[in-house]
Every structure is written in C-alpha cells, then in structure tokens.
Chain A
C-alpha cells in the first residue's frame, strides 16, 4: 500500500482549511475502487516459448513493484523456464539480452504452475467457482470495488488462445466469463491486456461494462518476438511486452500517467504489428484513468495535522451518473416462470385400465392364451 502525501497548507487559516478538507474528504471516500488484483497468465510450455514466461514475469515484476502484493496476484505459468534443463543460467529468466534484467528474482510466487494452467482453472479463477479446498493464494477474492488487471500471453489465433498445446479458450468463452464476473459483482473495473498473434480478436466479443482491453496485434497480424539472446539461444521477449515493460519501468506509485499513454506504447514502427485497444465498454474517460489504477495498488491518503469534525454530514461531490448495464437478462433469470410439469393420471387408474384390457382380451380369445404370458 502506497501513500500519496499532499502537503497541507500551513499558511491557511484554520477555518479556511476545515471546509476544504471536509470537501475533499467526500471526494476521497467516493473513488471508484478500493483494492487491486492482478491475474497474469502464461499459456505456453516448451523451451522455445521462453519469451511467454518472460513476458508474464516482467508484468508481474512491474505490478509487484507498483504495490500489488503477492496475496492479490494470481500468477499462472505453464512451464518452468528457470529450471529447464536447457537453461544455461539456471534459476533465472531474462527479459533483456546480455542478461541485464532477471525477471525471475528470488521472490516469485507462482500460484498455478505447469499442467495446472488449463482453461478450466483459468475460468474458475475468474468466476470464483473453485472447490472449497482451494487455498487463498489460488483464488481471485475480488469484490465490487476491485480493479482487476488480466494479462494473457501465449500463442493465439483469430478468436482463440492456445493453452499448453492441448486446448483453447475462445473469445466467446472469455466474454461470458467476464459477464459472469460482472453479474456476481466481482470487479469494479477490469483492464485486459493480451499479447498473442491476432490478439484483438480476443476482445471483440466483450459485452460487459467497465472493461478496457489492449492487444498487441490486430486480426490477421502476427505479434513478433523481440530479440534473441545468443547465449541462451531463444527469443527473450515479445515486442509489445518489451516496450510495455520499458514504459512501466518509468511509472512509480505517484505518477499521474493515464491510459492514453498506455495506448501509445509500441507503435507500428517498433512493434511491426498494430496494437489495438477497446474502450467503448468503459464508463470513464480513458484520459482520466491512471496507470496505477490497474497496475499499482495505490491508496489515496492525505496526512493532515488538523482534526476534522465529521459530525456534519459529508457533502457528496457531484456524482457522475454511474449506472450498471441494463439488468434485463438478470431479471429474467431471477423471476423465471416455473417449469411446466406434465400432468399424469393417477397410478391406480392405469393399473385398472390394463387389467380391464387383459380381461377383455382373454374373454375374447379364451383362457388358454393366459399360459403364454406366465
């Protein structure tokens, strides 16, 4: 938890300060989110997909540096590159060539590792439908005041993302998962970043409010990797995340950089692919959304030496009209009409009917047929 400290103006007179602080107090207590979460997923395994693990770990590093604690980060890595037999520098994952930056460090907490990174587990984490025995570190315990950052990387295509060479998650599934999260009030605002080939296809189908999405390439384009390291023998990072990391290294907890700067990360000249973003479902103006709203865990704290009399009701700041999306689908689910049960005649009636039929049958054709039944 980081604090923004603003200087209280000692020059002002006491009663001049009081109403100002009381005014501002209302503003402080009416901000959008109160906690931050991050779900960072790397979906590919094998040594030659080193760069996907490095991507995820570099975002993890930035997010942790800006204040989100491990208890609020769900990190899913599909393969262990640091301890892979082919790694000439064991226990390290580098993001810059010449081994400038080791993003593995010594305090990495991986929550889902290896074969646990599956589509099912990912969706369960998002929607919260986990078995009761799941430990807290593997859960996304967000509430309606959480801002969540979701970062996905791996191999993808038009409308899907490949998990571990064996299954895929489609953009429809993802959009539905986010809608479930919305209906269960599991997020306040959600930032979705994806670094795969044709990544923009993954956010095409979103329909829940308060979602902002960024992708490293448009449909039909490939996201390219950045640079190989000649000692390790693999590509270390993808271009988009490389420049994203560079951008984030300049952010500190008190910075006021907003989303519009994030959209400018990695233009076509650097990335070769065209990064895309989607903000139509987001209710705030992206220019007023701080980077630290999603990447950091920033508390707005004002230290004051004055006492504030809070007996008067706090004057609410003019509320922007936040509203939830049209709730009709929910109401249909809740106020459903009861299922029509078919009407059956009483059981005794059916028994009597069959007995009558049998008796008539044997009357007509003689009792000798009775022995054929028994």
Chain B
C-alpha cells in the first residue's frame, strides 16, 4: 500500500507530525532567518553581468565636451526659477527650442486628500515641460526618456543644466535610432504621474491634466537625474519603485559597467562597495546594504522619479550625484559622458530589456541575489504556517477525549457551524474597512473637535481605529450568544493560518521584502497563539508583533541603517509622517501597501487577537 493510503503508516506520520510540530516550526523559522541573512554573504551571490546581446561588449568613446556650459545653463535656470517662483516655463520652452527640440508643455492640478506636511503642499498646480529630439533617420516608434525634476529652492539646478547640455550635444549626432524625450517635471512625483498618465492615456489616480500635444513612441527606458552640486564625489543608483517593483537588472549592470569604464565612484543605497567580504565588518556592510534595499522595497513608495515608470513596463532608474567630503571630485563633463555612453548603449536596443532578472536583491552594486535564491527564505517561513494548519486539521479530525468530569464526550463531536467562524472574520474585515476609510472621511470632523492639523487628524484617527480594534474580542463576545467551543477556536485558527499563508505568499511574490518582513513578525504570532497561553504576556507579544509596531521598529531600524539614528521623540514623529505618506502614496500614485495592511493584514492579525481572547 502507498505511504499515505495505508492507515497504519498514515497514523504514524500524523503522530510524528503532531509530536514534532513545534520543534520543526522553530527549526524552520531559524533556517528561514539564517537563509535570509546568508543572502548577503558574498560567496552565495553572483556577480552581475550584461545579459542583453544588443548592449554588447563594445563601448564607444564618449565625447561630450560641454560640462561648463551645462553649469552655466543650470545657473540661469536657477535664476529664472527664483524669478518665476516655480517652474520657469517660458524660459525652458525657449531654451529647449533653441537646442532644436520639439517642445511641449503639460499642465496638471491635484487636490491632495489631506495636506502633505513633508513637502508642504495641498492644492498642487504645475506644468511639465518636455522636448523631443527626433531620431534623424528612424521611424518614430521608440523613445528613451531623460528627466530632471524641478525642485523649489537650490536643488537640482545642475541636473536641469546638464539635461539641456546633453540635449544640445545629442541633437548634433546622427546615430540615434530612437526619439529622446527630455523632461523637466514639476512637483516631482505628482508631475511625473501626470506626464505618464497623459503619455499613456490612462487615468488611474484622479488627477487633472491637459493632454499631451506631442509624443515619441513607445518608451523603452528612462533615466532620472538628480544633481545638486557643481562637482560630485560619487553617483548613487536608486532602483526601488512603486510597490517595490524593480527595473530590469540589465539597467543596473549598464550603470555599473559605465562607472567602471569612466572611473566614477558608484554606490547603491549610498554605500560603497567593500572588498573584504570574509571579515565581519565587510559582511555586516553587505547586510546593511541589502537590508536598506529590503526596507525601501517593503515601503512600496517610489524612491526616485523613476519609480512611476515601472508600472508601464518601462525600465527606469534614478541617478543621484552625491557630494561628500572625499578628495577626488568628478566634474559635470564626466557625468555627461557617463550618461552619453549609457544612452548610446540603450540606443542599440532592439527590444525592451527583458533578458535579465526582474526580481532580485543587491547586497552591493556588483553582486546580486535572484528570486530563485531568496524565495526559499520566505518558503521556509510559509512552511511553518502549513505545518500548523496540518496540525490543526488533525486535531479537528480526531478531537482529544475530554476528561474534565471523567465523562468522555467522544460522541459530542459538534462541528461548530460556519457561522461561528464567519462572525469574527466579518467583524475583523469590517474593522479593516473602517481603518481604510475612516481616517480620510472624518478628518474634517476630527479637526473641528480637536486642535490638530488635518494630517495629524488622519494619522491619529488611523491609530485610534487600530487600537479600537484591540478591544473587539471583549465586546463581541457579549453580542454573541453562547460560548465558543474548543473546536471553534481551532477552526478559526485553521482558517486564519491558511488565510495568512495565502496572503503572505501573494505579497511575497509581488513584493518580496514586504512579504518577508510581515512573515517574520506574523508567522510566530500565527504559530503560537491559542487561548491557553498566558494571556497578558501573549497579548503584549502580539501587540509588539502587530503590523503597526513592526512599522515603528522598522522606522527606527531604517534610521540606524542609514547611520542617522534618531531619539524616541523624533522617531515617533517620523513614524506618524510615514503613516501619512503611506496613505498619501496610495491616493496619489496607487501604492498598494496601505490598502494591503488596512484591509487584509490587519484583519488577519485581529483574527489571531480574537483567538487569544477566545472564551
């Protein structure tokens, strides 16, 4: 007989499963965490390499000469920006036209759901200016984009200057096979979202924009440039985009190849590469770089203007120029040459970048870990949930004899009705819906009642609803007639565990970092919670491991990783701003982290809270 169909063997397997369940779960958890930490260890990673044949090995000699002129243009731009008090549209249009581009503008406006305190804006109105360099001999079917943001104040003037300088240089060449679009967007991400929506004729976020008069064909790749100083010491590459999406690894490989060729210092996450991977400090450096990437990816927000391109299957990255206290400085001409080289390589593309990985983690700029290597870490954590579900299933199928009064109640295998499980489910999800909708809806009422600003009102309402959910089990039990049974909580836990497994699995597929971080905290919760564990201690641990507290700890951890540790006060304020930014990201760009947490993860956690307080 087969292994599973033979009743004896089946009983043996099941007894093995139930006996060893907890030890296996603990081992799996340790293994998952260890695997994840091991990803940053250099012998387990692969060196990056160019996968796309069309961007082959030969490189041209870059000849961009006009760095100084670009800086002068940047200074002019800064002066006109101050005069206009925003985007100097007319000057930009005139300058781009003088360089031989086809120039168009786009106006957009957006009323945020509540004021954004970080960037101090509420009613946003702006103009994007873009110029198209038509390919001299090619049909207008494909395009590349180079963008620089127009930020208020003194930042990014040199970026716009370099953009205009490159536009002039590129216009004199005849070897372009794709149109190049030079875009200066106002109000960074909001302007970029308006431009992209206008370009692709979609309207997903409810923004008001004027249609684009000129287009350039299907965009193959995009680079966003941020440069705020005349000289730099290093260039930083930012890859993380909206909802944790990453561009094709070939784009990072391209950047790294050119950094090596030109001899510019290049970093990722602001951290330089180190060669001593076998020492403790070298390994911890890699771990820090990788954890920064994981944190940034998990937050689901675009970390550069490029982040919004990824949704349209356009590979995009942001390049930031950083000026620190090193001795060796790189001038703007060299940066121009690097960009020229990258664009000439992208010019050779015949198809969209698709040969290299779309899902990866980078412990350093020259090493990467692909999805095949990092998924087992999550898989080991998900296995714990499945083991627990199997255990519960076994327990439900053969309930242990109750010998409380010396009476065995084997016949009373009362299968609890679906309704008794449905009630906590529905109530938890309703609380989730409340967490999703109430903060925005009632901000006006909150502002009237309490002396807080709108942003604070929204955030505090969210935290209030979250905490109110903690009081649910006590109250709902008064409403429910009858007592819960032993079977009842087991069924509920089975449902909750499977629900969590599916939820985390789907999240990890799309955004591995978010899925893994949630798994790290929620899987132990799911594994150990029963009504029979000590209540106060477990309640405390459950609250510590809840999504809100995970977010709080992540904020502190993120600050530590960036070597900018904060005090508790500042950390708390930062935490509040993170929540408000998350809510804003959802409404402005369609980020899915806030709805995911509010509508799915939080109700799931509430189910476990319910189980803890099951009577």
Which residues of A come within 8 Å of B, CB atoms?
46-48, 83-88, 90, 228, 230-235
A-B contact pairs, 11 of them (CB 8 A): A48-B56, A84-B177, A85-B138, A85-B175, A86-B348, A88-B173, A88-B174, A231-B60, A233-B348, A234-B56, A234-B58
In the complex, which residues of chain B have a beta carbon less than 8 angstroms from the beta carbon of A48? 53-54, 56, 348
In the complex, given contacts A85-B136, A233-B58, what are 4 additional A-B residue pairs having Cβ atoms less than 8 angstroms apart? A85-B176, A86-B175, A230-B59, A233-B60
Report the bound CA distance from A301 to B418 in whole Å. Answer: 106
In the complex, which residues of chain B have a beta carbon less than 8 angstroms from the beta carbon of A235? 58
Chain B 342-355 against A: per-residue CB contact (8 Å), 1 yes, 0 no?
00100110100000
Chain B 296-312 against A: per-residue CB contact (8 Å), 1 yes, 0 no?
00000000000000000
In the complex, which residues of chain B have a beta carbon less than 8 angstroms from the beta carbon of A85? 135-138, 175-177
B348 A47 Cβ-Cβ under 8 A: yes
Q: How far is the CB of A50 from chain B (nearest CB, A)?
A: 9
- Name the residue of chain A whose CB is nearest to the CB of B56: A48
Chain B 42-68 against A: per-residue CB contact (8 Å), 1 yes, 0 no?
000000000001101111110000000
B347 A230 Cβ-Cβ under 8 A: no
Report the bound CA distance from A235 to B59 in whole Å. Answer: 10
In the complex, which residues of chain A have a beta carbon less than 8 angstroms from the beta carbon of B176? 85
Report the bound CA distance from A232 to B347 in whole Å. Answer: 12
B137 A230 Cβ-Cβ under 8 A: no
User: Most A CB atoms within 10 A — which of B53, B58, B60, B177?
Assistant: B58
In the complex, which residues of chain B have a beta carbon less than 8 angstroms from the beta carbon of A47? 54, 348, 350
With A48-B53, A85-B135, A85-B137 already in contact, the answer to whether A90 and B58 are too (CB < 8 A) is: no
Interface positions, chain B 158-213, Cβ under 8 Å from A, are: 173-177
Nearest 8 A/B pairs, CB to CB: A85-B177, A233-B60, A228-B58, A230-B61, A85-B138, A88-B175, A85-B137, A48-B56
In the complex, which residues of chain B have a beta carbon less than 8 angstroms from the beta carbon of A234? 56, 58
With A46-B54, A233-B344, A233-B348 already in contact, the answer to whether A86 and B177 are too (CB < 8 A) is: yes
A90 B173 Cβ-Cβ under 8 A: no
Report the bound CA distance from A35 to B377 in whole Å. Answer: 72
Report the bound CA distance from A203 to B61 in whole Å. Answer: 40
Q: How far is the CB of B113 from chain A (nearest CB, A)?
A: 46
- Name the residue of chain B whose CB is nearest to the CB of A84: B177
Chain B 441-454 against A: per-residue CB contact (8 Å), 1 yes, 0 no?
00000000000000
- Name the residue of chain B whose CB is nearest to the CB of A87: B175
Which residues of B come within 8 Å of A, CB atoms?
53-54, 56-61, 135-138, 173-177, 344, 347-348, 350
In the complex, which residues of chain B have a beta carbon less than 8 angstroms from the beta carbon of A46? 54, 350
In the complex, which residues of chain A have a beta carbon less than 8 angstroms from the beta carbon of B59? 228, 230, 233
- Name the residue of chain A whose CB is nearest to the CB of B53: A48
Q: How far is the CB of B348 from chain A (nearest CB, A)?
A: 6
In the complex, which residues of chain B have a beta carbon less than 8 angstroms from the beta carbon of A233? 58-60, 344, 348
With A47-B54, A47-B348 already in contact, the answer to whether A90 and B174 are too (CB < 8 A) is: yes
For chains A and B in complex, what number of residue pairs have CB atoms within 8 angstroms?
45
Report the bound CA distance from A88 to B340 in whole Å. Answer: 15
Q: How far is the CB of A47 from chain B (nearest CB, A)?
A: 6
A86 B58 Cβ-Cβ under 8 A: no
Report the bound CA distance from A86 to B54 in whole Å. Answer: 12
B137 A232 Cβ-Cβ under 8 A: no
In the complex, which residues of chain A have a beta carbon less than 8 angstroms from the beta carbon of B135? 85
Q: How far is the CB of B141 from chain A (nearest CB, A)?
A: 11
A90 B350 Cβ-Cβ under 8 A: no
Q: How far is the CB of A45 from chain B (nearest CB, A)?
A: 10
Q: How far is the CB of B71 from chain A (nearest CB, A)?
A: 27
Q: How far is the CB of A26 from chain B (nearest CB, A)?
A: 57
In the complex, which residues of chain B have a beta carbon less than 8 angstroms from the beta carbon of A90? 137, 174
Report the bound CA distance from A87 to B60 in whole Å. Answer: 12
In the complex, which residues of chain B have a beta carbon less than 8 angstroms from the beta carbon of A230? 59-61
Report the bound CA distance from A85 to B178 in whole Å. Answer: 9
Report the bound CA distance from A84 to B139 in whole Å. Answer: 12
In the complex, which residues of chain A have a beta carbon less than 8 angstroms from the beta carbon of B175? 85-88
Report the bound CA distance from A289 to B506 in whole Å. Answer: 72
Q: How far is the CB of B523 from chain A (nearest CB, A)?
A: 48
Report the bound CA distance from A162 to B400 in whole Å. Answer: 70
With A228-B58, A233-B59, A234-B58 already in contact, the answer to whether A86 and B347 are too (CB < 8 A) is: yes
Report the bound CA distance from A232 to B177 in whole Å. Answer: 14
- Name the residue of chain A whose CB is nearest to the CB of B63: A231
Report the bound CA distance from A233 to B175 in whole Å. Answer: 11
Report the bound CA distance from A232 to B58 in whole Å. Answer: 9
Q: How far is the CB of B502 from chain A (nearest CB, A)?
A: 42
Q: How far is the CB of B254 from chain A (nearest CB, A)?
A: 14
In the complex, which residues of chain A have a beta carbon less than 8 angstroms from the beta carbon of B61? 230-231
Report the bound CA distance from A84 to B54 in whole Å. Answer: 14
In the complex, which residues of chain A have a beta carbon less than 8 angstroms from the beta carbon of B60? 230-233
Q: How far is the CB of B10 from chain A (nearest CB, A)?
A: 53
- Name the residue of chain A whose CB is nearest to the CB of B54: A48
User: Most B CB atoms within 10 A — which of A48, A88, A230?
Assistant: A48
Report the bound CA distance from A249 to B137 in whole Å. Answer: 35
Q: How far is the CB of A239 from chain B (nearest CB, A)?
A: 15
In the complex, which residues of chain B have a beta carbon less than 8 angstroms from the beta carbon of A87? 175
Report the bound CA distance from A353 to B429 in whole Å. Answer: 83
User: Most A CB atoms within 10 A — which of B61, B175, B347, B350?
Assistant: B175
Report the bound CA distance from A85 to B177 in whole Å. Answer: 5
Report the bound CA distance from A48 to B351 in whole Å. Answer: 13
In the complex, which residues of chain A have a beta carbon less than 8 angstroms from the beta carbon of B54? 46-48
- Name the residue of chain A whose CB is nearest to the CB of B58: A228
- Name the residue of chain A whose CB is nearest to the CB of B62: A230
Q: How far is the CB of B174 from chain A (nearest CB, A)?
A: 6
Report the bound CA distance from A306 to B328 in whole Å. Answer: 86
- Name the residue of chain B whose CB is nearest to the CB of A229: B58
Report the bound CA distance from A48 to B136 in whole Å. Answer: 20
Q: How far is the CB of B25 from chain A (nearest CB, A)?
A: 51
Report the bound CA distance from A88 to B62 in whole Å. Answer: 13
Report the bound CA distance from A46 to B347 in whole Å. Answer: 13
In the complex, which residues of chain A have a beta carbon less than 8 angstroms from the beta carbon of B344? 233
- Name the residue of chain B whose CB is nearest to the CB of A83: B137
- Name the residue of chain B whose CB is nearest to the CB of A50: B58
In the complex, which residues of chain B have a beta carbon less than 8 angstroms from the beta carbon of A83? 137
Q: How far is the CB of B61 from chain A (nearest CB, A)?
A: 4
Report the bound CA distance from A30 to B368 in whole Å. Answer: 70
Q: How far is the CB of B306 from chain A (nearest CB, A)?
A: 25
Report the bound CA distance from A232 to B137 in whole Å. Answer: 16
Q: How far is the CB of B147 from chain A (nearest CB, A)?
A: 23
In the complex, which residues of chain A have a beta carbon less than 8 angstroms from the beta carbon of B173? 88
In the complex, which residues of chain A have a beta carbon less than 8 angstroms from the beta carbon of B177? 84-86
In the complex, which residues of chain A have a beta carbon less than 8 angstroms from the beta carbon of B138? 85
Report the bound CA distance from A155 to B173 in whole Å. Answer: 31
Report the bound CA distance from A86 to B347 in whole Å. Answer: 8
Report the bound CA distance from A347 to B136 in whole Å. Answer: 76
Q: How far is the CB of A316 from chain B (nearest CB, A)?
A: 59
In the complex, which residues of chain A have a beta carbon less than 8 angstroms from the beta carbon of B174? 88, 90
In the complex, which residues of chain A have a beta carbon less than 8 angstroms from the beta carbon of B347? 86
